[in-house]
Structure 1
Amino acid sequence: MNALAFLSAYLFLQLGWGIQAAASPAETQSTAMRPPVRLSAPLVLQAFPLLQAEKSAAFREAGATAQFTFWRSPEQLRALVANGQVDAVVAALPTAAVLARRGVPCVALAAYAAPLWIVGPAHLAREGEPPLDTFRRLLAKEILLPFGPGNMPELAMRVLAVEVGLNVTHRHCGSAMEALNLLRIGQGSAALLPEPSASMALNEGTVVRLLDLREAWAAVFPEHRDMPTACFVAVGDAACDPHLRTLLRQSFVEGMKYMVDEPETAFAAARNSCAEFRVILERLPDGGSTFLRSPVLLAGERGKEAALFMLEQLQKMVPSSVGGALPPSGFWDMGHEK
């Protein structure tokens, strides 16, 4: 099967849509007495720590078990949360903020900065060019966005454009495959893709990586160099359970670090645990090791500071993207992990 057929399936946890209570005896009961912890994520790299949660040291020591479900669309994610069918999810940062503003118990446990690549034909590449110069040059051209309006990749690009005084010339299209086909026939200059879509596109030989938006972000915001786009959140009753929140956060942090420290072992585990991951990973360059190392985990004070700064920029630019106002203070529980 052509690898491009899979690209659109991996776009996105990036949709745009915390209540912390004091612990009670019921909330601090042994995790081993609980039913399985219900976890969900889209088909992205950050699903791996959730797929492997039951095998994590944190879960084993607590005697906890887990169930995992992929969410395939923003509508499915909203339904899972609204119907109380999930305890923790990977979601776009503004999605979590909107949930909290709407009164859904939702607490951010960790965030991460994953690559967002502008890709295009090789003649647009400029070796050694400063990232901000590349960003300015590429934004003068039409950028294809293979996702709906208001999704997180577009919002991140717009934040950068506003900060440097540029307008974004863009066109929405239905999928990464459609974007690449448009590039082939000259209808569009470049496209904005997340991983693994960007790496899979490179394997097709159509495009090259031109710029990781994280590099432009670090140049535009030198005091806030991290560019978080998504987070891991506890929802519903789990959001009100400090003990369970700690367990979830520790397991997620452990899993994310494992991918960076042991990419080959993590690659094998991902292949064995999920047929869809196997299809993706087998189509990536260098065996997927670069892909596995690509996201930057943001936890503790660093995570909270970075995520809050991103939400502040979104709130100034498009208030509705974060629910009209910043989340309440109880939204944050990123611990002290580094």
Structure 2
Amino acid sequence: MFDAIKLGRRAFLAGAVTSGAVALSSRYAFAAAEKSADAVGIWGPPVGPSIALAHLTESSAIQDAAPGSVFRVWRTPDQMRAGVASGDMEITIVPTYTGANLFNRGLPVKMANVMTWGLLYMMSTDKAVTSLSDIGGKTIVMPFRNDMPDLVFRHILGANGMSADKDVNILYTATPLEAVQYLLAGRVDTAILPEPLATASILKGLGASIAVNRVLSLQDEWGRATGRAPFIPQAGAVVSDGLLARKPDFVTTFNAQAARSTDWVNNNPASAGRLAQDYLEIAGPVIEKSIPYSNLRVVSAADARADLEFFFETLAQQSPDIIGGKLPADAFYLSL
């Protein structure tokens, strides 16, 4: 019965636990207002770190330092790249390797921090799948060929004596949502999904009497494959050179408040879900239940540099272009 699923992204995520659209709150209307001259343009995609940014922009620390600053969500990579290039996105959450790529291509950005240490999970409707050893011969649905999740998964398979080209069949989709739809429609029984869609797939499955299981964390498997800690420095905040020139002290304030807001999100997931749902246009309970799996922790880019460079080098072994062909220079990593 799921072959006919044609849900848009907003409808799918809202419908994961509720019926009808999520009502827009006054704070969402405020976030759409024109920012003042003192304000900073703070952006992020609809994923875990942006939950913290929703809280951050409402804090007195940020409003005192940059009155009128608001948080907005970017929806596509093209929108993000255009916003960074124009300078409108003075601070934005991006995948860390995207930040490296932008820097290496000459865009005026620096990495401020890492805010999430991995959002990737293997999900399955097959109860027999409980580990990597159970996926031999299976079709695994994966969003985005040759993007980071694909490269990480291939590295993990190789470290476990498996080949992504011989031992499994990877079916690529154009979006993560499409991968969820394949899973719930029964076209495949196993998928690699990011949060919060991994959690959304579980909740949407419950509503259709489909048991979607969280089989394993790719963060844990990455740690086992590399001999390092079980975390992936997946996404963080980049800041524009224009902001660093215009408000040189603001980025330090931002980083400190990002850490406080992230702690608040981790300790108050239900409240965080209610706060962020209108910003991200994702149902609050989905956000709440995804937070424990979002590995939210703020580390300055300078302090995370060793982890970032190992991550970049590992990705570049398979696809040098993903980071723009080389490791970023020293100036990329801000010390805050």
After TM superposition, the score normalised by the length of structure 1 is: 0.78
Task: Report deviation, 1:136.
Answer: 4.0
Q: Distance in 2 between matches of 1:104 and 1:316?
A: 24
- 3-state SS, counterpart of residue 124 of structure 1: coil
* Cα deviation 1:66-93 (Å, max 9, x = unaligned): 1322111111111111112110111111
Q: Matches of residues 47-66 of structure 1 in structure 2 within 5 Å?
A: 47-60=50-63, 62=65, 64-66=67-69
Offset at residue 234 of structure 1 (A) = 0.6
Q: What is the letter of the counterpart of residue 262 of structure 1?
A: N
**Inter-CA distance 315–261: structure 2 relative to 1 (3 Å threshold):** same
Gaps of 5+ in 1: 11-32, 127-133
1:157 to 153, 157, 171: 153
Query: Quick one: structure 1 residues 298 and 314, their matched pair in 2 at CA, closer, same or farther if it must change by over 3 Å?
Result: farther
Aligned with 2:230: secondary structure?
coil
Which SS does the other structure have where 1:149 is aligned?
coil
Q: Is the 8 Å Cα contact of residues 144 and 190 (structure 1) preserved in structure 2?
A: yes
Task: Give 3-state SS (helix, strand or coil) of 1:324's partner.
Answer: coil
Partner of 1:199: 199
| Shift of residue 203, structure 1, vs aligned partner | 1.4
Greater Cα shift, 108-117 or 85-94: 108-117
Question: Is the CA contact 2:49–2:236 (under 8 Å) kept in the aligned structure 1?
Answer: no
1:253 matched to 2:256? The reply is no
Please give the per-residue CA displacement for 1:49-81, whole angstroms capped at 9, x wherever unaligned.
222333335324535441322111111111111
Change (3 A) 1:327 1:275: closer
Q: CA deviation at 1:268?
A: 2.9
Structure 1 contact 53–66 (Cα < 8 Å) conserved? no
Task: Rate the CA distance shift 1:298–1:251 in 2: closer, same or farther, 3 A.
Answer: closer
Residue number in structure 2 paired with 1:330: 331
* Alignment partner, residue 140 of structure 2: 143
Instruction: Select which of 205, 221, 230 maps to 1:225.
Output: 230
Give the number of equivalent residue pairs.
297
Aligned to 2:22: none
The CA distance in 2 between the partners of 1:50 and 1:183, in whole Å, is 31
SS of the residue 2:135 aligns to: helix
Structure 1 residues 211 and 140, CA gap change in structure 2 (3 angstroms): farther
Structure 2: stretches of 5+ with no match in the other structure = 14-35
- Name which of structure 1's ranges 102-111 and 162-171 shifts more when overlaid on structure 2: 162-171
What letter is aligned with 1:124? A
CA distance in 1: counterparts of 2:106 and 2:161, whole angstroms = 35
CA offset at residue 202 of structure 1?
0.8
Q: Using the alignment, how far apart are the partners of 1:181 and 1:61 within structure 2?
A: 44
Residues 165-213 of structure 1 show CA distances to partners (whole Å, capped at 9, x for unaligned) of 4222311124445434434565434111111111111113232111111
Q: Secondary structure at the match of 2:192?
A: strand
TM-superposition CA deviations, 1:292-333 (whole Å, max 9, x none): 233221404653322222112112221111000000111112
For the residue of structure 1 that corresponds to 2:216, the secondary structure is strand
Q: Would you say the 8 A contact 1:143–1:188 is kept in 2?
A: yes
Q: How is 1:24-173 mapped onto 2 (pairs within 5 angstroms)?
A: 35-60=38-63, 62=65, 64-111=67-114, 112-126=116-130, 134-138=131-135, 140-145=137-142, 147-168=143-164, 169-173=169-173
1:8-27 to structure 2, matched below 5 A, reads none
Identity %: 22
Alignment partners' CA distance in 2, 1:8 and 1:116: 22
In structure 2, the residue matched to 1:13 is none
Task: Select between 35-44 and 103-112 the one with higher mean Cα deviation.
Answer: 103-112
